[in-house]
Amino acid sequence: MSLLTIGHRGVMGVEPENTLRSFVAAERAGLDVVELDLHLSKDGALVVMHDADVDRTTDGSGPIADHTLAELRALDAGRGERVPVFEEVLDAVSLPIQAEIKDVRAARALAEVMHARGLVERVEVSSFHDEAVAEIARLAPGVSTALVASLPHSRTNSSGGTPIGVDVVERAVAVGAATVCLDIRRLTLEIVERARGNGLRIIGWVVNTPTHLRLVRALELDGATTDQPGIKRAGRLTA
């Protein structure tokens, strides 16, 4: 069988991350799912961007929450691309989407769009934040959810969520998540076995090298999040 491949912010290894150009490239490369990140603009739009501010990925500066959608639209997100909103990605590609939310407010805004457009089957919602996962599950019954973590020894994770450790499986079960998305560089057999014992899917991120891909295969993970479209070809497994 083929490994489930998830395009990280589209294919950010070759295109500007979290842009329509990047998502379309991921679909054309044959990836199975596209992953993106959601923040709320000052006027409540679901903006597709990873960081809480615009400095790294655009020619602007300051927090997303301090900009209206119109102001964000005026920025260059790379190669002339504009900052998209979630609804535009839905229309630009036909692939399933894994949407990472940063907080409960984003969960509530996303749930509204999911209800309006009937997206429970198409969109899996992920977060580093337990409360955000629980909130989207409450607001959009039936949605597939994933808890994201960087394992196992950091005191806090890179996105500012709950401190992480080997209890990630218990946390995922507690909030009703079906999947754990775990840092491939820190993934352990103990965590894999614990997740399997609790019926969870396991996705490794970010899988960009042959070494990481071999680890994904050895641990028999369900999928790999990648920056590189070539991982799709390399990830074909023999049943």
SS3 231: helix
- pLDDT tens-digit map of 178-235: 999 999 998 989 999 999 999 999 999 999 999 999 999 999 999 999 999 988 877 6
Phi-psi label, residue 114: left if phi above 0, alpha if psi -120 to 50, beta otherwise: alpha
Q: Are 220 and 187 in contact (CB under 8 A)?
A: no
Determine what percent of the chain is predicted with pLDDT higher than 90. 86
pLDDT at 171 over 80: yes
Q: Residue 116's closest CA among 96, 92, 90, 144?
A: 90
- pLDDT tens-digit map of 118-134: 999 999 999 999 999 99
Average of per-residue pLDDT across 28-52: 98
Q: Are 174 and 196 in contact (CB under 8 A)?
A: no
Task: Write down the mean pLDDT value for the chain.
Answer: 92
Backbone angles phi, psi at 116, to 5 degrees: -65, -30
Q: Are 5 and 223 in contact (CB under 8 A)?
A: yes
Token pair of 164 as six digits: 């992480």
SS3 32: coil
Tell me which of 239 and 194 has the higher pLDDT: 194
Q: pTM, whole model, 2 decimals? A: 0.92
pLDDT at 153 over 70: no
Q: Are 90 and 103 in contact (CB under 8 A)?
A: no
CA distance 7 to 137: 23
Task: Give the rounded distance of the alpha carbon of 101 from its chain centre.
Answer: 8
- pLDDT tens-digit map of 43-101: 999 999 999 999 999 999 999 999 999 999 999 999 999 999 999 999 999 999 999 99
pLDDT band at residue 166, thresholds of 50, 70 and 90?
Answer: low
CA distance 52 to 64: 6
Token pair of 2 as six digits: 């083929």
pLDDT of residue 231: 84
Q: Residue 166's closest CA among 144, 197, 145?
A: 197
pLDDT of residue 236: 58
Average of per-residue pLDDT across 4-8: 97
pLDDT of residue 150: 87
pLDDT at 165 over 90: no
pLDDT at 154 over 90: no
pLDDT of residue 235: 62
Q: Which domains are delineated in the chain?
A: 4-42+92-233 (3.20.20.190)
Backbone angles phi, psi at 102, to 5 degrees: -95, -20
**Strand partners for 12:** none
